[in-house]
Amino acid sequence: MRTFHPVESYSSSQAGYRLLPFRFLRLDDGAEVFVNEVGEFVLAPKGTARTLIQKQLPRSSDLYATFKAKQFIADDSSSPLLDLLATKYRTKYSFMEGSTKLHIFVVTLRCDHSCHYCQVSRQTADKISYDMSLETAAQSVELMMKSPARHLTLEFQGGESLLAFDVIRYIVPLAKKKAEALHKELEIVVCTNLSNITDDILLYLRDENIMVSTSLDGPAFLHNANRPRPGNNSYELTIKNIDRARKTLGVGRVAALMTTTQLSLQHPKEIIDEYVRQGFHSIFLRPISPYGFAVKSKEKTGYQFDAFLDFYRTGLAHIIEINRKGYDLSEAYSKILLTKILTPYGTGHVNLQSPDGAGLSVLVYNFDGDVYATDESRMLAEMGDHTFRLGNVRTHTHRDIFTGEPFLNLLSSACNQSLAGCSDCAFQTYCGSDSVFNHTTQGDLYGHRPTSDFCRRNMEIIKHLFTLISARDPEIMRIFLAWIQNSGLREISKRAPS
Amino acid sequence: MRLTTAGTPSAFRKAVVGIVSREPLPVGARANRILVTEAVPHRAPELSGYGGFLTTARVEDQIVSLPTISSVRNIDHLRTHDIVAMEPRNGFIRTLYRPDSHHNIIFATERCNSNCLMCSQPPQDRDDTDALTERNLNLIRLIDKPPSRLVITGGEPTLLGERLFAIIASLRDKFPETYLHMLTNGRVFAWPGYTAQLAAIKHPNLVLGIPLYSDDSTTHDYVVQAKGAFDQTILGLHQAARYGLRIEVRVVLHAITIPRLPQLAEYIYRNLTFVEHVALMGLENIGYAPRNMSELWIDPHDYQDQLESAVETLSTRMMNVSIYNHQLCVLRESLWKFARKSISDWKNIYLDECQTCGVREQCGGFFQWATKLHSEYIHPVPAATSQPALPCTRIP
């Protein structure tokens, strides 16, 4: 007959434990949050960090088991299971596989709008100067296809991209043919204000399976103030044409993005309600852009920063309320962060990842063949700063671009793991680095965290999300889980205990 | 339901596996058949050609040279087409397979490298692996119609080493459509070589049921009474997933596993996202369990909070989760839709209290050994309060 041994026989034979890599932070309410390399977190009472690090955590405590199970500490009862940690790390960074996936083609700078926040559009009939030539288009496609990624997204931008519909019609079959020959999957998106849309264009987009992404800044008073055009009827045109586009392409094939301006900051609820009214199920409360007016005045930036946080918090609360009432609406920025916090998966969002997505995840092919690291980089170029021009499709190969000085400079500050102020930050795993932002707002790629708006904004937003998570409101948790799993509250609740 | 009986063995030295026939068969159709009767045939030719002979009668002299067990205590449960094993040593007659049952098993071995505190089938240390492998391969040869479902269990099946592959390969060849569930502690899968060989068999419907009792290695190792078992099982789960094997995680709920059940659910989501099913199972009062009951017992009524929290965590993260071996009257109503009728037909009972219960039909009931110990909160549930859509489907 076999015998049984007491639990003590299975715990560590030696006193003490080892620390595995993790970082921590005290939240505003005194609670402490611990995060490790793979994004697992522990919320614990004030004082835990001190006890933990001084190796005073009692072995019999629940927290001890939790820290051990989440791989923050290791003792002799169990191997540190480093293979497991490695697998989780790989999973978190799987977004890097294949390198550059998003390829933005600026097919024209011409536009019928004159939005305040736009640095690039030209109101001109001069087609030759500001449209992408077919030769440049072909060379851009050639370069794009050199990307090792299996799944590519081709995004047409402008100006108003559809003003250069002939260029688009030239690029689409060319890109599709090349992608097929290389066994790559290709998704195509056209970013358009829809004001020039015709039935012929819509049918073309439908037949070529092209998605539409348009701009909707809020209700009429706000949208029209943000996006002036002759006749001051941008809102009316947009709404009418979203409807037309949906009828031809399908509701799920038309997305909208809003740009936050100073005026927007005062109207989070109105903007969100407009998205609901128009039947959208996702909204992106985008940070106010530092390109253009914001960089020019320091005091203004500070004011805008606090105003943006208010805007975000009020907006998020309103969005959660809307979900509670039965309408599925996710907030894109929170969704990115919550995916990092609550799931074992990683997510690459160009402006919120480490390594920085500039070049690594996105490339921008300007109308004149210049290749930029990000959309923001070419806006900077329009303001006279060419730091992030990585090359030109006529003169540079894929290799030239990724071994050239501009890209290597970017890369040197691309990992927040090695940036002062980030390397020991509890939220490092969830956050990112944005060298283009650093350069624009602080004058160097590396940046200075204590005065960085990027840092402050993400710290505050992540803290806010942790406040909501630690409140343990089961319905908020379900709403968050619905977002990160592309589901809805009702759908999730149907699966859950009820 | 009876699955074993015994009598007086004669005329054979090696175990015989054969198909029961309650009626005499024509001479040409007797191969591998075991005639079961209450009488003793008068003439030897009446038995010629059978693989074996079972009778309740006493057989005084050696009238037949056929493997025989006489004076069998009970044959009522033996039905034509059942597959049984006749043991020469002790005269045991074990029912190995019943064509009309949903709960047939391939019993791989009684050996185990763990020694779980609540093991329902306590391990034996003698080496039965060769004998049982031969018996099981014979059994598979004799099964006629494809079973919808088979369970390979033990003991720890992987202790058969490569002989396990022979069993799974023969099932793959003969019954590729059969849902094959293998209950294993998964420790051996920490060895990539072994896991690769199992995966290479490419059984199209094999699912490994692997137990994990805590996110805390000390607690898991204590429950399975094996130091280092947690690490091996976790690595094994990952190896198995890496080789594309399908996996179910099984958790037995008792006083040692309940306190960290919510954390275990989170651990499974974070670390074992690839598992296709998580089964949260009530304790069986059999085997080792009664001996360790003072440490194991917690009334299911008292762990509904932890259970609901674990189910919430898993289900809202799109993981499939089921509750086995629980009675609806003790289970919080919010959890009813996760309850399955999981108890094998031959050990499934209901209590007197259940007679007037309005949801008895949907309830999985009890293990037969629950008569000795069960929740203090068992009570009939009025049909009116029951939810409109009761799932309680049988497990696959």
One-letter amino acid for residue A292 of the chain: G
Alpha-carbon torsion angle A138, A144, A146, A152, nearest 10: -130
Interface membership of A66 toward B (CB under 8 Å)? yes
- A366 within 8 A of A396, measured Cβ to Cβ: no
Q: What H or E segment, with its residue span, contains residue A211?
A: strand A211-215
Task: Indicate if A227 and A140 belong to the same structural domain.
Answer: yes
**Radius of gyration of chain B, Cα coordinates, nearest whole angstrom:** 23
Given phi > 0 = left and psi -120 to 50 = alpha, else beta, which region is B338? Answer: alpha
Whether residues A10 and B267 touch (CB distance < 8 A) is answered with: no
User: Last residue of some domain: A403, A427, A458?
Assistant: A403
CA dihedral (A109, A112, A114, A115) positive or negative: negative
pLDDT > 90 fraction of chain A, expressed in percent and rounded:
81
Name the strands in the sheet holding A32-36, side by side, starting at the edge strand that comes first in the sequence: A22-26, A32-36, A41-44
Task: Indicate if A262 and A382 belong to the same structural domain.
Answer: yes
- B181 forms beta bridges with B151, B207
Among A7, A84, A88, beta carbon nearest to B222: A7
Among A2, A12, A481, beta carbon nearest to B317: A481
SS3 A10: helix
Whether residues A9 and B312 touch (CB distance < 8 A) is answered with: no
Find how far residue A314's CA is from the centre of its chain.
20
User: Last residue of some domain: A67, A92, A117?
Assistant: A92
Residues recorded for chain B: 396
Whether residues B269 and A497 touch (CB distance < 8 A) is answered with: no
ipTM for this model: 0.94
Q: What is the pLDDT of residue A299?
A: 46
Q: Which residue is listed with tokens 């296709």?
A: B276
Whether residues A344 and B215 touch (CB distance < 8 A) is answered with: no
Q: Residue A198 sits in which domain range?
A: 100-403
Q: Which residue is listed with tokens 């009530």?
A: B282
Which residues, in sequence order, are CB contacts of B134 under 8 Å at separation 6+?
none
Domain membership of residue A388 (yes or no) is: yes
Domain membership of residue A298 (yes or no) is: yes
Q: Which residue is listed with tokens 């990585």?
A: A390
Q: Which residue is listed with tokens 């069998």?
A: B72
Task: Indicate if A116 and A246 belong to the same structural domain.
Answer: yes
Which residues from A are below 8 Å from B318, CB to CB?
485, 487, 495
Q: What is the pLDDT of residue B391?
A: 47
3-class SS letters over chain B: CCCEEECEEECCCCCEEEEEECCCCCHHHCCCEEEEECCCCCCHHHHCCCCEEEECCCCCCCCCCCCEEECCCCCCCCCCCCEEEECCCCCEEEEEECCCCCCCEEECCCCCCCCCCCCCCCCCCCCCHHHHHHHHHHHHHHCCCCCCEEEEECCCHHHHCCHHHHHHHHHHHHCCCCEEEEECCCHHHHCHHHHHHHHHCCCCCEEEEEECCCCCHHHHHHHHCCCCHHHHHHHHHHHHHHCCCEEEEEEECCCCCCCCHHHHHHHHHHHCCCCCEEEEECCCCCCCHHHHHHHHCCCHHHHHHHHHHHHHHHHCCCCCEEEECCCCCCCCHHHHHHECECCCHHHEECCHHHHHCCCHHHCCCEEHHHHCCCCCCCCCCCHHHCCCCCCCCECC
Which residues from B are below 8 Å from A79, CB to CB?
231
Q: Could you tell me which chain B residue has the CA closest to the CA of A59?
A: B218
The DSSP letter of residue A423 is T
CA distances from B163 to A44, A56, B157, B311 (A): 50, 49, 9, 37
User: Last residue of some domain: A346, A376, A403?
Assistant: A403
Q: Which of B114, B214, B216 to mutate to test the interface with A (most CBs of A within 10 A)?
A: B216
Task: Indicate if A199 and A57 belong to the same structural domain.
Answer: no
Number of structural domains chain A divides into: 2
Name the strands in the sheet holding A254-257, side by side, starting at the edge strand that comes first in the sequence: A254-257, A211-215, A185-191, A151-157, A102-106, A362-365, A370-372, A389-392
Which residues from B are below 8 Å from A478, CB to CB?
316
Task: Indicate if A226 and A327 belong to the same structural domain.
Answer: yes
**Interface residue ranges in chain B relative to chain A, Cβ cutoff 8 Å:** 115, 117, 122-123, 125, 215-219, 221-222, 225, 227-228, 230-231, 234-235, 238, 259-260, 263, 267, 269-271, 273, 292, 308, 311-312, 315-318, 332, 334-335, 337-338
Interface membership of A77 toward B (CB under 8 Å)? yes
Q: What are phi and psi of A56, to 5 degrees?
A: -105, 5
Q: What H or E segment, with its residue span, contains residue A168?
A: helix A165-181
Whether residues B222 and A495 touch (CB distance < 8 A) is answered with: no
Half-sphere exposure (CA, 13 Å, Cβ side) for B132? 24
Task: Indicate if A51 and A189 belong to the same structural domain.
Answer: no
Which residues from B are below 8 Å from A81, CB to CB?
231, 234-235
Among B228, B231, B270, beta carbon nearest to A40: B270
Interface membership of A94 toward B (CB under 8 Å)? no
Which residues from A are below 8 Å from B216, CB to CB?
65, 68-69
Among A40, A79, A474, beta carbon nearest to B231: A79
Among B222, B263, B273, beta carbon nearest to A10: B222
pLDDT digits (tens, 9 = 90+) for A312-328: 999 999 999 999 999 99
Domain membership of residue A29 (yes or no) is: yes
More confident residue, A395 or B59: A395
Q: What is the pLDDT of residue A322?
A: 98
pLDDT digits (tens, 9 = 90+) for A178-209: 999 999 999 999 999 999 999 999 999 999 99
Task: Indicate if A79 and A189 belong to the same structural domain.
Answer: no
Domain membership of residue A444 (yes or no) is: no
Task: Indicate if A221 and A255 belong to the same structural domain.
Answer: yes
**Rounded CA separation A93/A344 (Å):** 10
**Rounded CA separation B341/A462 (Å):** 44
One-letter amino acid for residue A426 of the chain: A
Q: Which residue is listed with tokens 């043919």?
A: A177
For the range A416-423, what are the long-range contacts, defined as Cβ-Cβ under 8 Å and sequence gap of 24 or more?
A416/A354, A417/A354, A419/A446, A419/A447, A419/A449, A420/A446, A420/A449, A421/A448, A421/A449, A421/A450, A421/A452, A421/A455, A422/A354, A422/A449, A422/A455
Angle at CA of residue B105, ends B101 and B106, nearest 5°: 145
Task: Indicate if A69 and A117 belong to the same structural domain.
Answer: no
Residues of chain B with pLDDT under 70: 44, 61-64, 384-396
Task: Indicate if A56 and A159 belong to the same structural domain.
Answer: no
Among A11, A84, A344, beta carbon nearest to B218: A11
**Rounded CA separation A380/A370 (Å):** 13
Which residues, in sequence order, are CB contacts of A123 under 8 Å at separation 6+?
A110, A111, A112, A114
- B157 within 8 A of B128, measured Cβ to Cβ: no
- B316 within 8 A of A498, measured Cβ to Cβ: no
Averaged pLDDT score across all residues of chain A: 93
User: Considering all CA atoms of chain A, what is the largest pairwise distance in Å, rounded to the nearest integer?
Assistant: 94
- B182 within 8 A of B211, measured Cβ to Cβ: no
Domain membership of residue A275 (yes or no) is: yes
Q: Could you tell me which chain A residue has the CA closest to the CA of B304?
A: A497
Whether residues B217 and A66 touch (CB distance < 8 A) is answered with: no
- A375 forms beta bridges with none
In terms of C-beta density within 10 A (0-12 exposed, 13-18 middle, 19 or more buried), how is residue A478 classed?
Answer: buried
Q: What is the pLDDT of residue B1?
A: 74
Among A5, A11, A485, beta carbon nearest to B225: A5
Residue A84 has pLDDT above 80, yes or no: yes
**Radius of gyration of chain A, Cα coordinates, nearest whole angstrom:** 25
- B195 within 8 A of B243, measured Cβ to Cβ: yes
Q: What H or E segment, with its residue span, contains residue A272?
A: helix A268-277
Domain membership of residue A487 (yes or no) is: no
Residue A143 has pLDDT above 50, yes or no: yes
Residue A113 has pLDDT above 50, yes or no: yes
Residue A297 has pLDDT above 70, yes or no: no
Question: How much is the pTM?
Answer: 0.94
Count of C-beta atoms within a 10 Å radius of residue A448: 15
Domain membership of residue A492 (yes or no) is: no
- B254 within 8 A of A101, measured Cβ to Cβ: no
The DSSP letter of residue A110 is B
Give the pLDDT band of residue A293 (cuts 50, 70, 90). Answer: very low
Task: Indicate if A197 and A338 belong to the same structural domain.
Answer: yes
Domain membership of residue A154 (yes or no) is: yes
Helix-strand-coil split of chain A, %, nearest 5: 45, 15, 40
**Cβ contacts from A onto B, under 8 A:** 96
pLDDT digits (tens, 9 = 90+) for A10-67: 998 888 899 999 999 999 889 999 999 999 999 999 999 999 999 999 999 999 999 9
SS3 A43: strand
Q: What is the pLDDT of residue B387?
A: 54
Whether residues B234 and A7 touch (CB distance < 8 A) is answered with: no
Interface membership of A408 toward B (CB under 8 Å)? no
Q: Could you tell me which chain A residue has the CA closest to the CA of B273?
A: A344
One-letter amino acid for residue B260 of the chain: R
- Chain A nearest C-alpha distance from B246 (Å): 18
- A257 within 8 A of A214, measured Cβ to Cβ: yes
Interface membership of A10 toward B (CB under 8 Å)? yes
CA distances from A486 to A89, B136, B364 (A): 23, 47, 34
- B20 forms beta bridges with B34
Task: Indicate if A201 and A300 belong to the same structural domain.
Answer: yes
Count of C-beta atoms within a 10 Å radius of residue A495: 22
Strands A362-365 and A102-106: parallel
Q: What is the CATH number of the domain that holds A158?
A: 3.20.20.70
